[in-house]
Structure 1
Amino acid sequence: MTLISLKEYETFPPRKKKYDSQDERVEKLKQISLDPQDIKLQEELQSREILTINSNPYNNELQFTTQSHVGVAQFSNFTVAITPKFSEIGKLVELIDYVYDLDLEIFTDSEIEFEGEQNILSEIIISTFVKKCQKLIRQGLFKSYILRQDDVPFLRGKLLMPQQILNQAKIKLQFACEFDELEYDNLENQIILYCLKQSYKITINQERKSQIRKLIQNFSGMVSLKEISLDDFKKINYNQMNHHYRKIHELSKLIVNSMQIFDFYKQNTRFVNSFFVNMNNIFEKFVFKLFYEFYEYPAKEQQHYPSWMTEKKGRKIDTITDILIYEKNRSDVRTIIDTKYKPELTDNDRYQLAFYAHDYKKQEAYAILPEFTDSESDAFIATRQDVEIKIRHLNIDKALGLISLRNTRERNQKIQEMLDELLN
């Protein structure tokens, strides 16, 4: 299987720029082509702005364009692996672990070589998920009361009169009742069973597949297999009874989010091993967590409020700022921050930030982007509106290095200095 390795925000071969003729990918391009059964996956990847594949009309060679997703796509006769532009894949694992607080398992170099570097992200997430499921089984699964309606030989709960009249007409000697029953078949466990099924498709590790099969058997008969979407996670309220499900559900959410578009093929084919994470979401959460945990002023995330209303239908449209920094009184806005996981701002991004500044009656707003090799801080000034958009770049590798410092006082001080530098 031919492997094409790409970085985020890369076009290869480039449209206009010259490229290194010694690049091993040049020869690989001559060996691969899109199979008809790959068309649906190709279209879906493009529509989701993950990967665009075009064919050169002159030599029929494929051209790949990536954006802000990291992961692997399996086609019929080749694999595309997209890795982080800011660093190596191992740092991405550290980043995800810090953002979601997942206690991710860190593989050794020998394990990474065995698993295959292009699959390492999905394998680490699934390996951690499997271990947490095994621990959950040992602790005991969560039970909750489920509302049932059934004919029972004794009166239980509330009698359903319309159905009871039918039972009497049929001389059916049972009570039609509605009652609560303590069961394992709740949403908390349905999410885990669904993700175990998906993980079985994704992983290429045979030992891990065997572990997943055993876990699925433990759930079978007690928990219904249902299709799970990201909206289902919003329905769960965590309390003392189910709080130990929180981390395993965060892992489940990553699996569901990454698998949503790739369940095209039959389970017995290799093509289901496609897995991507959206770096936009991860970077936004990373920047917020840094400010929330280490900045001297209080930070709040995702402030929703209706800023537009349609004239005819009265429909409200929200404005959403990524991060607001408040004064120490926690009521007055000090700084507006919007995160953008991209090499540079677009015109629409600048207009959006200017709108935020105007809405909050501020004369400046900050755009924080990841620091890449050619990144350069800058500022845009809307002279007629007296609004300044400041562009700053965060070095993710440096930030992760500071987070890992064991000396708490030194860590807090250095991260505070880094954040101060970002906001001048």
Structure 2
Amino acid sequence: MTRVVELVEHAPAVGVALPDAVGRALAAGDIVDAVPDPYVPGHWSLRAGSKVGAVAVATPGNDEPITVRVTPKVPITRLFFLLGYNLDPKGGWRDGEVDVTGHRDLLPALAHAVERQVDRALRQGLLQGYQRREETSLVVRGRIREADQIRRRFGATLPVEVEYDEFTTDIAENRLLRAAVERLLRLPGVPHDVRRRLLHQRARLVDVAVIVRGHPLPVWQSSRLNSRYQHALHLARVVLENASVEHAPGALRVDGFLFDMNKLFEDFVTVALREACRSFGHSARLQDPHHLDEASAIRMKPDLVLYGPSSAPCAVVDAKYKAEKREGFPDADLYQMLAYCTALGLREGHLVYAKGNAPHAAHRVRHAGIVIHQHALDLDQEPSGLLSEVDRVAAQLVNTPRV
């Protein structure tokens, strides 16, 4: 039977009895903040940060693996709206397409969503395409690879080294779907009914090659032919890029799915602001590289730099899910934004936080004439209300004065 430790994102630390090896694995894997209790042997203090999801830690010969489950503060439906908007802001996957309201935890909801999207993608049958093949054959098919034929066969006529294009279901799109399904089937906490449906999807993809762990994911190109696959492919990549905690440190095995709320929020803010600013005739560059100094030795990369019709920077934004920790470098977010404004020649800079993690505020810097705005977006509201808040921030960005 699996033992489950329940944590909440950015909640106070919880004391838990754990084997020392498990506690060390959690700390070393950057899963949660794990600190041994100096007074009670075998007890650890666990505190979740911005990573949500679930991981299972198993030890050899132990019939009771330990699962650490981190629940996000925002409702699951809101989290999936942010995810869907990031994947396709012009009408991508939304709450209405897959009902996740029955799931309180991230992993069951994600597994359910992926299975439903894969089912929609495969409802008309598996997509087929041409795949380049190279093989040794007794008959000529396609093109003879003359260099390989001479090097390997020394003038012999048979067998023949050939190359040809095969029309097959074993293409990048289907490989990604199968890899995501296989990955979800190995993760802890997937409900039984969802697991059963995932097994059915795997059976439909049985003739598709399995991606070898550690190899790069296959690349696919958006087209009219694979339009019915695209939502499933976007979610499949989310699974494969975030289900990275899978290793065996020493005698332990750690396997799970962790989703970083910092990155989810940053992606949403920058994508939503980029879309909103287009209506004002402005363009935005995400992770736009610049230099702080005249010698171009100190690099900086703001989350979003807005450019006006003259192609000059007119606003700079950094998205921060949480304010800088007070026990760390004080007010580092403000110092960083001041550097951005100075280097880009702007009189105003904009920091965007999730509501509850930082207040609305504006700070005028002494002797510099620069104002740094702190905006707070309320994630716990309907999508229309959240996007309206983004529109208000975008309207302020396009009016940012230059030095």
TM-score normalised by length of structure 1: 0.75
User: 2: CA distance between counterparts of 1:401 and 1:166?
Assistant: 65
Report the number of matched residues: 376
User: CA separation in 2, counterparts of 1:161 and 1:134?
Assistant: 44
Whether the 8 Å CA contact 1:68–1:279 is kept in 2: the answer is yes
Aligned to 2:61: none
Is the contact between residue 121 and residue 232 of structure 2 (CA under 8 Å) also seen in structure 1?
no
Cα gap change, 1:330 to 1:275, in 2 (>3 Å):
farther
Between the two proteins, what is the percent identity of the paired residues?
19
2:79 to 74, 87, 92: 92
Give the Cα separation in 1 of the matches to 2:20 and 2:38.
Answer: 17
Residue 247 of structure 1 and its aligned partner are, at CA, apart by 1.4
Amino acid in structure 2 at the alignment position of 1:226: V
Equivalent residue in structure 1 for 2:99, among 93, 106, 109: 106
Shift of 1:337: 1.0
Pick from 301, 306, 311 the counterpart of residue 331 of structure 1.
311
Match of 1:351 in 2: 335
Q: What residue number does 2:211 align with? A: 225
Aligned residue for 1:227, secondary structure, equals coil
- Distance across 2 between alignment mates of 1:72 and 1:173: 55
Distance 2:264 2:223 in 1: 26
Specify the code of the residue in structure 2 equivalent to 1:91.
Answer: R
* 3-state SS, counterpart of residue 139 of structure 1: coil
Could you tell me whether the CA contact under 8 Å between 2:107 and 2:190 is conserved in 1?
Answer: no
- Tell me the equivalent position of 2:70: 82
Match of 1:180 in 2: 165
RMSD: 3.6
Q: Tell me the distance in 2 between the aligned counterparts of 1:357 and 1:39.
A: 42
> Would the alpha carbon gap of residues 176 and 253 (structure 1) be closer, same or farther in structure 2, given more than 3 Å must change?
closer
Partner of 1:16: none
- Note if contact 2:81-2:94 (Cα within 8 Å) is conserved in structure 1: no
In 1, distance between residues paired with 2:130 and 2:267?
34
Instruction: Supply the distance in 1 between the matched residues of 2:345 and 2:80 (Cα, whole angstroms).
Output: 39
Q: How does 1:49-88 map to 2 (within 5 A)?
A: 50-60=31-41, 61-75=43-57, 78-85=66-73, 87-88=74-75
Residue pair 1:41, 1:262 contacting (<8 A) in 2 also: no
Shift of the alpha carbon at 1:3?
4.6
Distance 1:148 1:37, change over 3 A: same
Asked if residue 250 in structure 1 is aligned to residue 217 in structure 2, the reply is no
Q: Could you state the TM-score of these two structures normalised by the residue count of structure 2?
A: 0.78
Code of the aligned partner of 1:357? C
CA-CA distance at 1:383 after TM superposition: 2.9
Using a 3 Å threshold, how does the CA distance of structure 1 residues 146 and 348 change in structure 2: closer, same or farther?
A: same
Q: 1:194–1:226: 8 Å Cα contact kept in structure 2?
A: no
Partners of 2:152 and 2:65 in 1: CA distance: 61
Instruction: Tell me: CA distance 1:194–1:35, structure 2 relative to 1, closer, same or farther (3 Å).
Output: farther
Residues 226-263 of structure 1, C-alpha deviations (whole Å, 9 max, x = no match): 2367x636x33222233333211211122112210135
**Who is 2:195 aligned against?**
209
Cα deviation, residue 183, structure 1:
2.6
Q: 1:264 to 1:256 in 2, by over 3 A?
A: farther
Deviation of 1:69 after TM superposition, in Å, equals: 1.5
Asked if 1 retains the 8 angstrom alpha-carbon contact of 2:292 and 2:343, the reply is no
* SS of alignment partner, residue 177 of structure 1: strand
- Counterpart of 1:342? 322
State the Cα distance separating 1:277 from its structure 2 match: 1.1
Judged with a 3 Å threshold, the aligned counterparts in structure 2 of structure 1 residues 59 and 184 are, in CA distance, closer, same or farther, namely same
Name whichever of 51-60 and 181-190 sits farther off.
181-190
C-alpha deviations, 1:139-194, integer Å up to 9, x for none? 23233333222233443333233443467658553432222222322322221111
User: Any stretches of 5+ residues in structure 1 without a counterpart?
Assistant: 14-28, 404-410
CA contact (8 A) 2:292 2:340 kept: no
Q: Distance in 2 between matches of 1:150 and 1:99?
A: 41
What letter matches 1:242 in structure 2? N
* One-letter amino acid of the structure 2 residue matched with residue 277 of structure 1: F
Q: Which residue of 1 aligns with 2:346?
A: 362
More helix by percentage: 1
Please state how far the C-alpha of 1:342 moved relative to its aligned partner: 0.9
Return the alpha-carbon distance in structure 2 between the equivalents of residues 352 and 56 of structure 1: 36
The 1:318–1:252 alpha-carbon spacing in structure 2 relative to 1, beyond 3 Å, is: farther
What SS does the corresponding residue of 1:256 show, helix, strand or coil? helix
- Distance change in 2, residues 1:244/1:303 (3 Å): same
Secondary structure of 1:220 counterpart: coil
1:369, distance to aligned residue in structure 2 (A):
0.9
Cα deviations by residue, 1:367-415 (Å, 9 ceiling, x for unpaired)? 111111x732334444354433222211122463525xxxxxxx86x76
Could you tell me which amino acid in structure 2 is paired with residue 102 of structure 1? W
- Name which of 378, 387, 395 aligns with 1:395: 378
Q: Residue 211 of structure 1 aligns to which amino acid in structure 2?
A: R
1:74-114 Cα shifts (integer Å, max 9, x gaps): 345654332334x3344323333343333452245xx44xx
Q: Structure 2: how far apart are the matches of 1:270 and 1:89? A: 28
Check if 1:322 corresponds to 2:303.
Answer: yes
